[in-house]
Structure 1
């Protein structure tokens, strides 16, 4: 007599032998290792790229302009995101477990929201900076001084920190977390608190993106108008002034690429946050994780965009790399 024996995969827990432990993700080793390698590579590239931007701007005095102060501060936010947020997210994504305690869970959520929001607000400030550079080139240096740039940086960090702290540590946030999580040991519902999706969408996505898009369209109109005037009058532009105009337009083109990449990376994630409460939080956790990592990739793409788009960035990058190697 033949017996059919079916092998049922053993259920694994975040904390084996502990009652009330969350169930650990049961990904096969053949999938887990490549994903760990992919996520680790993403973290390394993000850290290296943003660190290189920061070192380059700090090292060369001629690069220390108001625009580059904003870019450097945004690189700081992206660097901190890759160091403090991405590694625990990688573990939680692949293991479905949080091993770092309840307080660090809330602190992680605070840092995550703060750094992502800071990066978005810096993009908005950079768009405003480019608008003044193109629309009012003669008054630009008076309007966009070093003090103004530092004020923009302080406001961006301050507003983001206040919002992140309010969401992560508020009593309402804790109540929402309890209502959406099974209260198992080894979980961190604050990692992906979907109840804040609508407010977060409008404050740190819809409003900044509307401002950035409106400003960029206005910049394009002004740029086209100025190009037509120069072409029609056929004026001879001095070489120095011509180079300044070329640099301003180059920076404006780079801004358009940065905004486009930002939309590609963050739009799916924010749409997921808006739709998920409407459908009763039925969006699969795996899809949510994928869209979240797509959003994080924006922090890796920003320094790559600047390195590719600006000749002077590439030149100074090479100098720094030669000295390091």
Structure 2
């Protein structure tokens, strides 16, 4: 936000090209890490709800640490390396930006756009949707089970209270049953 505020105040980019790349890299880094963390949360919720008995063995502190480390490493790889090496944009833009050091424009090429959006958004989003769909199906299944259990309890309770033996033989038979 500081860099954006400086552009709003000065009306132009007042920093060098390296800072422009750093700013854009951080934007990609934090956006990617954010949605990947949401994917990790959906993974955690999936195991907690779908496989509650396996949850303590699958979701350990060590595994959570590995997942968080993986998120930040992958987010850094998809942001810093392509941006600081110039792989994210076209050669024409690289030449043009040297002519206009007072601009910090984010212009990406098609290959980077496809790879970055796939890794940074589409795959994590698809994973989250699949996980939450499975959780939704489990919730429906549990709701039906609870409803059936309640109906059985009501029916059992109703049948038990409505049965009054007429004589001692019926009472004895009822006790034996």
Q: CA, structure 1 residues 176+93, in 2 after alignment: closer, same or farther (shift >3 Å)?
A: farther
Query: How many pairs were matched up?
Result: 149
- Aligned match for 1:98, one of 10, 13, 29: 13
User: 1:202 is matched with which residue?
Assistant: 118
User: 2:60 is matched with which residue?
Assistant: 145
Q: Distance in 1 between matches of 2:87 and 2:142?
A: 52
1:125 paired to 2:40: yes
- Aligned match for 1:211, one of 107, 124, 127: 127
Work out which of the two has the higher radius of gyration on C-alpha atoms and give 1 or 2. Answer: 2
- Aligned match for 1:222, one of 119, 138, 142: 138
Q: Distance in 1 between matches of 2:108 and 2:72?
A: 23
TM-score (norm 2): 0.74
1:136 paired to 2:51: yes
The alpha-carbon deviation at position 223 of structure 1 amounts to: 1.0
The alpha-carbon deviation at position 179 of structure 1 amounts to: 5.3
**Structure 1 unmatched runs, 5+:** 1-85, 237-325
User: 1:22 is matched with which residue?
Assistant: none
Residue correspondence of structure 1 range 8-157 to structure 2 within 5 A: 86-92=1-7, 96-157=11-72
- Aligned match for 1:164, one of 79, 88, 103: 79
CA contact (8 A) 2:88 2:108 kept: no
- Alpha-carbon deviations, 1:252-289, whole Å to 9, x = none? xxxxxxxxxxxxxxxxxxxxxxxxxxxxxxxxxxxxxx
- Alpha-carbon deviations, 1:186-231, whole Å to 9, x = none? 1123xx2332322222111111111111111111001110121122
Q: Distance in 1 between matches of 2:87 and 2:103?
A: 19
Instruction: Compute the RMSD of aligned alpha carbons.
Output: 2.3
- Structure with the larger RCO, 1 or 2 (CA within 8 Å, 6+ apart): 2
User: 2:147 is matched with which residue?
Assistant: 231
SS of equivalent residue, structure 2 residue 53: coil
- Alpha-carbon deviations, 1:155-176, whole Å to 9, x = none? 0001111111122111434636
CA contact (8 A) 2:13 2:103 kept: yes
- Aligned match for 2:107, one of 193, 212, 229: 193
Q: Distance in 2 between matches of 1:209 and 1:231?
A: 33
User: 2:158 is matched with which residue?
Assistant: none
CA contact (8 A) 2:25 2:79 kept: yes
Q: CA, structure 1 residues 180+186, in 2 after alignment: closer, same or farther (shift >3 Å)?
A: closer
TM-score (norm 1): 0.42
